[in-house]
Amino acid sequence: MQPSNNEGLPSRIVAALRRQAWVFKAMSFASIGVVNSLVDLGLFLLALRYLTASLVAANILSWCVAVSGSYVMNSFITFAAESGRSLRWRTYATFVAAQVLGLVASTGTLVAAALVMPVLPAKLLAIGAAFLVNFSMSHFVVFRKRATVPSGPDRESSTQ
């Protein structure tokens, strides 16, 4: 039996939304990224003013705090379906490891851009470079859909 037009419309809408899911995830990731970028920028400027004259040291310090907040928010919001809204040490370690590429992109962009422009716009440019890398790594590596979810004693608990 062929589905009627009314039955086919909801399934076509769902299919279209699934095809565009990465757009919604990117928007959510970007929104969370704005919050974490403000944390990153604020801590970077505070560290640069009060703790160190090193752009690299200040950038790494602010990144460490921001990446932790990013993991928590993305686990509960952007990638809630993939994470089960659970925080896991193994996933956190994978997230941080994947985000190191974003840190490298951010730091490289910051240092290079600071040679030709003031530090604040250089830092903003670095945040943009990191976003591209971080979303790609989160979407395709850390929070990718798994074919099967293990059960039993091998399954990692959310209390770890």
> Is pLDDT of 156 > 50?
no
pLDDT digits (tens, 9 = 90+) for 23-82: 788 888 889 988 988 998 899 999 999 999 999 899 889 988 988 998 999 999 988 888
Q: What is the pLDDT of residue 86?
A: 86
Q: Are 37 and 127 in contact (CB under 8 A)?
A: yes
Residue predicted with more confidence, 22 or 75: 75
Q: How far apart are CA 62 and CA 98, in angstroms?
A: 17
Residue pair 28/107 in contact (Cβ under 8 Å)? The answer is no
Q: Where are the domains of the chain?
A: 22-145
pLDDT at residue 141, rounded to an integer = 84
Q: Answer whether 7's CB lies under 8 Å from 34's CB.
A: no
The Cα 39–Cα 148 span in angstroms is: 36
pTM of the model: 0.63
Alpha carbon distance 73, 88 (integer Å) = 13
What does the pLDDT look like over 86-125, one tens digit per residue?
Answer: 898 988 998 898 888 888 998 899 999 999 999 999 988 9
